[in-house]
Structure 1
Amino acid sequence: MRFDRAALARAVAREGRVARVVVTAAEGSAPREAGAAMLVWHGGQEGTIGGGALEWEAAARARRCLDAGRDAARRVPLGPGLGQCCGGAVRLLWEVYDAARLAEVPEAGLYARPLPGADGGAAPVAPGVAGGWIAEAVAPAGRPLWIWGAGHVGRALVGVLAALPGRAITWADTGPERFPEAVPEGVETVPAADLPRLAAHAPEAAEHLILTYSHDIDLALCDALLRRGFAGCGLIGSATKRARFRSRLRAMGHAEEAVARIRCPIGDPTLGKHPQAIAVGVAAEMLRAEAAE
């Protein structure tokens, strides 16, 4: 069970007070697993605990908790209670957070607190629910992911990847006019006339996706990132572009094994070349790699 403190902090800063809804246990067939969470405020919500009637009822109760300023917990049967076909049940926790309560959540480590109405007991030392307590591992800020280029594919990638947890996205292009007016929350946009020069300041632990409007800029970014170091790097293109870039990067002095770390093409070519299809393929590629770690 993981606690996304960064997402909660952004919501509290924007809304002032937010309810966090957590699935603390799933019994039988249920839409989401224990640890799934969403944030709810008057006028909106983000995240999901499974959708449908369960989520609608949970969000409605979350807003009642916001009005009352109280936490709550209950077991929700999905079949007879909500008419869902899952047939199982979930246990839900509603917690109300403002800036003062957010300050009680550690930046890292284990966040343990008693469930509403629980009687004492020893706090758990590992993530889970036991003895009237819930404990969650506070998620780190996220893996740094730099996306180079705000064209059609860049916009599709940001739209898909920003919705997935566990990433801190930096989105770079050559000028502010390159970005859309609406940027997903939590994504940092960086306009820079000289993108390869900016690449020298990226964290060495970052992953990169290169898809600018210019092959020359793409090549210069590959060169700069090979000199800087990276956790992973993907380049949009074809087998022909890959072969041409590898030849030119070797001529720039990069070793074959280093150049081979740049993946090209990215995503799943069988899905087609539509920007959203590329984005879906890249997201699946990343999720498979993380699941294998």
Structure 2
Amino acid sequence: MRPETLISFLRREPAVMRVELTRVRGSSPREEGAEMFVSAAEVLGTIGGGQLEYMALDEARKLLINSVLSGVMDVPLGPEIGQCCGGRVEVSLTLMDQAACDAAIARVVADEAALPHVYVFGAGHVGRALADLFQHLPVRCVLVDNRADELALSHAQVEKRLSALPEAEVRSAPAKSAFIVLTHDHALDFLLSAEALERKDTAWVGMIGSATKRAKFNSFARKECGGLTTDALNCPIGASGSRDKRPPVIAAAVVAEVIAALTSEPAAQSPERATP
């Protein structure tokens, strides 16, 4: 969740119960430390959904009604509650005071600062579709283009950068960033992809195009980039087997590839991410 979302929630609600998974044994829909915030009328966050979450919500609201400061639940995730994970979780429920609110906000701010960066180069149809999807995911998405009119067409809640030198954005990006290259210019695509591959510390590098474009880039890298190794380049991207070329469909396939790469990096794991 975003810090501003939590801050607004805590300011709006007079009494809030923090619900946290404090112990997880075996399989569970969320990891230890997963939390949600429950008021009389609203809930923010999730501890995994399903019957476990319904039970925790019910208990949290009972505590709120009775002005009880804290509680603990020990829940087996089996058929008796209609959940088939098979593990067991301990849930801690705590009425939040100002110190607890401050600590929760600090955690969310730290989580956001640690989010992996995803750079989308090119604010055309596919680039904008990518931004529309990434805005809902635990990443910091940066949409980069040298065309102000194209950037203006994106209404996604992501960072937008008008840049005459997009290659500088590649160089200054933090380690473990993902780079998606799909500009309006093949030569620029080659330049940006080469810059990203030169870094050696990226989480994922992809360039839109065909097998023919990939072959041309390989030749470009050998001749113009000192024999740059291109094995780490994903091209074509979004190669899910679908022949559907509509931008939102391509974007969905690319996002799946990028998120899979980012979440395979332990440092990129986010406490927001739920597991099945």
1:204/1:228 contact within 8 Å kept: no
2:144/2:166 contact within 8 Å kept: no
Q: Deviations over 1:118-155 (max 9, x none)?
A: xxxxxxxxxxxxxxxxxxx9796123332223445445
Query: 249, 259, 270: which is aligned to 1:283?
Result: 259
Distance across 1 between alignment mates of 2:171 and 2:35: 34
Deviation, 1:92, is 0.9
Greater strand fraction, Structure 1 or Structure 2: 1
Would you say 1:51 and 2:49 are equivalent positions? yes
Distance across 1 between alignment mates of 2:58 and 2:233: 47
Cα 1:153–1:23 change in 2 (3 A) is farther
Q: Deviations over 1:198-238 (max 9, x none)?
A: 52563252331222344344234335546777524221222
Cα 1:50–1:235 change in 2 (3 A) is same
Q: Deviations over 1:167-194 (max 9, x none)?
A: 43323344342312x42xxxx4123052
Question: Counterpart of 2:162?
Answer: 192
Cα 1:288–1:208 change in 2 (3 A) is same
Tell me, what secondary structure is at the counterpart of 1:15? helix
Query: 211, 223, 238: which is aligned to 1:239?
Result: 211
Unaligned runs of 5+ in 1: 1-6, 109-136
1:147/1:208 contact within 8 Å kept: yes
Question: Counterpart of 2:152?
Answer: 177
Distance across 1 between alignment mates of 2:184 and 2:18: 41
TM-score (norm 1): 0.63
Q: Deviations over 1:19-44 (max 9, x none)?
A: 54322223566434433334556545
2:197/2:232 contact within 8 Å kept: no
Q: Deviations over 1:100-134 (max 9, x none)?
A: 435447979xxxxxxxxxxxxxxxxxxxxxxxxxx
Tell me, what secondary structure is at the counterpart of 1:31? coil
Cα 1:250–1:30 change in 2 (3 A) is closer
What count of residue pairs does the alignment treat as equivalent? 249
Mapping 1:19-38, distance limit 5 Å: 19-27=17-25, 30-38=28-36
Question: Counterpart of 2:100?
Answer: 101
Question: Counterpart of 1:256?
Answer: 227
Greater helix fraction, Structure 1 or Structure 2: 2
Q: Tell me the amino acid that sits aligned with residue 208 of structure 1.
A: F
Distance across 2 between alignment mates of 1:267 and 1:289: 20
Distance across 2 between alignment mates of 1:90 and 1:145: 34
Cα 1:228–1:59 change in 2 (3 A) is same
Question: Counterpart of 1:13?
Answer: 7
Q: Tell me the amino acid that sits aligned with residue 16 of structure 1.
A: L
Cα 1:43–1:85 change in 2 (3 A) is same
Mapping 1:49-128, distance limit 5 Å: 49-62=47-60, 68=67, 70-79=69-78, 82-86=81-85, 89-95=88-94, 100-104=99-103
Cα 1:71–1:31 change in 2 (3 A) is same
Distance across 2 between alignment mates of 1:158 and 1:96: 37
Q: Percent identity?
A: 34
Distance across 1 between alignment mates of 2:163 and 2:27: 53
Cα 1:63–1:151 change in 2 (3 A) is farther
Cα 1:290–1:24 change in 2 (3 A) is closer
Unaligned runs of 5+ in 2: 268-276
Q: Tell me the amino acid that sits aligned with residue 263 of structure 1.
A: N
Q: Tell me the amino acid that sits aligned with residue 34 of structure 1.
A: E
Q: Tell me the amino acid that sits aligned with residue 19 of structure 2.
A: V
1:172/1:195 contact within 8 Å kept: no
Alpha-carbon RMSD across the aligned residues, in angstroms, is: 4.1
